[in-house]
Amino acid sequence: MDDTAFFREVGQRLEVDKEGAQVVTSAVLWVLRSRLTGKQAAHLDAQLPARLKRFRPSGCSEPSATRFREREFFRRVGILASLPAEEAQRATRAVFKVLQAALQSPTGHEGEAWDIFSQLPKDLKKIWSEAGRSST
């Protein structure tokens, strides 16, 4: 999946335009990378299309591995994407679903997707797994 298809899929899932999809994708990937170890973040980037590698919100420096849970994940996405908490959660689920497809992981538990899943806390594992099972 190339970056254009990635953004189009996120946009369709969230019913937003390409710019909105880019903002949301950037925020979710940035926060996800900050939750992963540097090595795992690099492995994720190696699997992504060129424009999604180290895609970051404007004004953000490199993320560092930080432990936080679901609520903080959504709060950070919301700040970066200028979304209320409920929309940040919906955006996260959409990007997780498209990311799993881009990683060729139908359930979110195969290959590189499994490696990401294994580094998430229990509450975010639930969100990641639900995204893998969702059809929308």
Render 41-78 in DSSP notation, one character per residue. Answer: HHHHHHHS-GGGTT---TT----------HHHHHHHHH
> CA 89, 93, 95, 101: dihedral to nearest 10 degrees?
170
The label of the residue with tokens 């538990």 reads: 109
List domains and CATH numbers for the chain.
Answer: 3-133 (1.10.490.110)
Q: What is the pLDDT of residues 65-97, one digit of tens each?
A: 678 889 999 999 999 999 998 999 999 999 999
Q: What is the pLDDT of residues 97-133, one digit of tens each?
A: 999 999 999 999 999 999 999 999 999 999 999 998 8
Core vs surface per residue 91-126: b (16+ CB within 10 A) or e? bbbbbbbbbbbbbebeebbeebbebbbebbeeebbe
